Chain A
């Protein structure tokens, strides 16, 4: 049972380059999320998708775009990477209630030089 799968695991970009982080879940969850994790700051929500066909901004959306391709897949795009976007990115999925825990992928470690 794969759960939440993220690709790639590691990526190095130069300032101004673009890339897409991929996420897929096989638990038939309605809701999906993108977080970034920075030292001493916990996890901060970038974007979320409450259900297929909808997306909305979280706490730190600037510089990012998302696509909910179907119920399984939720991608995060950096159009023009900046050093401030160096971080570990986590995708998660859940049902749309607080009773349902978040299920996380193993993360993508992104470095922007």
Chain B
């Protein structure tokens, strides 16, 4: 079974600064990778996903992530954050084709400061 590590539980950053949220997963032959975002008092929603092809994936709200197979990482980045990006971000991994075997990381709380 896959495991997912989100190294930072809290990331404070000033508005308009760049941010990187880190995600590492346990090794597998093939993986499907996701980032979900959870705004306060809401459910999670998909930010972006990597299934195959280009290792740089672009998502909604200006976020992007890069799949690095050799480092088993899928870090999330945004060049300039806004107050509205304050939320909890979850990395998720599946090594099969089924959504039932999706493993979530423990989450990173991003707080954007004015």
Contacts and interface: CB of A to CB of B under 8 A. Distances in A.
A27 interface: no
Interface stretch (A14-22, A61-69, A71-79, A92-100): A92-100
Contacts of B46: 101-102
B98 A40 contact: no
Nearest to A100: B99
Interface residues of B, number: 25
Given A98-B51, A101-B46, A106 B41 contact: yes
Given A40-B106, A43-B104, A102 B99 contact: yes
Contacts of A102: 36, 44, 46, 99, 102
Interface of A is mostly: loop
Contacts of B102: 45, 98, 102
Interface string B1-38: 00010000100000000000000000000001010100
Contacts of A104: 43-45
B24 to A, nearest CB: 14
B51 A41 contact: no
A41 B107 CA distance: 8
B96 interface: yes
Interface of B: 4, 9, 32, 34, 36, 41-46, 49, 51, 90, 94, 96-100, 102, 104-107
Given A42-B105, A92-B43, A101-B34, 4 more contacts: A92-B44, A96-B100, A102-B44, A106-B42
Interface of A: 4, 31, 33, 40-45, 48, 50, 56, 58, 90, 92, 94-107
28 contacts: A4-B43, A31-B100, A40-B9, A41-B106, A42-B104, A42-B107, A43-B44, A43-B104, A45-B102, A50-B100, A58-B100, A94-B99, A95-B99, A96-B99, A96-B100, A97-B98, A98-B98, A98-B99, A102-B36, A102-B44, A102-B46, A102-B99, A103-B45, A104-B43, A104-B45, A105-B43, A106-B41, A107-B43
